[in-house]
Amino acid sequence: MTSIVKETRSIKEAVTFINAIDVNKFSRLISRIIQKLHLKGERTFSEEEEQKLQAALSLDKQALNLVLETAAFILEQAVYHNVKPAALQQQLEAVHLNSDKAEVFSHSWATAGPELLEKLKHNTFAPKKLEYVGWQLNLQMAQSSQARLKSPSAILQLGLRNDDSEVQENVFVEFNHQELLELYNKLEIVQGQLDSLT
């Protein structure tokens, strides 16, 4: 298969820096990066942490940035193409990454890769996602316009959340028996469609 990492100038430069890093420190670095890879728009390391890293790895700010970005890039490519850990190691060695460092990548990928893949599969563009389903079944006895009702009425609570917010918005919908039956029939049709996909 085509190589997922092409040996560009910046890759060459990054490789030089990476090869110089102590392998244990590097291993911890990669673990941390892979944990946060699925979060869009979030910094992996805070300002403070980055400064500490600069000292710990003996890299200046620019060099550290290059190393972090390159490492993230390699992992993103691995996810995107869903490469096998062994193939990843080979390809990294092909761009002159030391085998101990290449092994760190392929080992992290083997361990944390599947979970990362699952998380990314569930990232979507939809404005809101249904996160919570709650309900209440009532027996309505009367209302202003009608006495002695005894009519069952269900209230559905749908908790919707925007991807980029922690706040859940609640939508309350009321159904009588007929309306609920109509909803159920629609859901059955959707289920039919989902079943036909597998």
Partner 1 sequence: MASSHAKDSSFLGGRIPPEIESMSKNLKDVDHDMFRRILKAVVSALDGKDCREVMRTIAESSTIPQKRLGHIIAGMYRLLSEAIRIPTSSLKQEAFKEDLRELRIPEDFITDFSSVVFGNRRAALEAARSLNDPHLPTIEELKWRVDVAISTSSLARAMQPSVLMQMKLSDGSFNRFEVPVSKFQELRYNVALILKEMNDLEKRSILKIQD
Residues that bind partner 1 (CB under 8 A): 38, 76, 79-82, 117, 120-124, 126-131, 133, 135, 137, 139, 143-148, 150, 152, 154-156, 158, 160, 171-175, 177, 179-181, 183-184, 186-188, 190-191, 193-194, 197
Q: Which CB sits closer to partner 1, 99 or 140?
A: 140
Strands 168-175 and 151-162: antiparallel
Output 23 or 187, the one with its CB closest to partner 1.
Answer: 187
- Least distance in angstroms from the C-beta of 152 to partner 1: 5
CB of 163 to partner 1, least distance (A): 9
Question: Nearest-5° angle of CA 106, CA 1, CA 100?
Answer: 25
Which residue number, 9 or 192, has a Cβ lying nearer to partner 1? 192
Q: Which is nearer to partner 1, 23 or 181 (CB)?
A: 181
Closest approach of Cβ 127 to partner 1, in Å? 6
- For partner 1, the closer of residues 69 and 174 by Cβ is 174
Query: To the nearest whole angstrom, how small is the minimum distance from the Cβ of residue 107 to partner 1?
Result: 21
- SS3 for the chain, per residue? CCCCCCCCHHHHHHHHHHHHCCHHHHHHHHHHHHHHCCCCCCCCCCHHHHHHHHHHHCCCHHHHHHHHHHHHHHHHHHHHHCCCHHHHHHHHHHCCCCHHHHHHHHHHHHHHHHHHHHHHHCCCCCCEEEEEEEEEEEEECCECCECCCCEEEEEEEEEEEECCCCCEEEEEEEECHHHHHHHHHHHHHHHHHHHHHC
- For residue 3, the minimal CB distance to partner 1 (Å) is 15
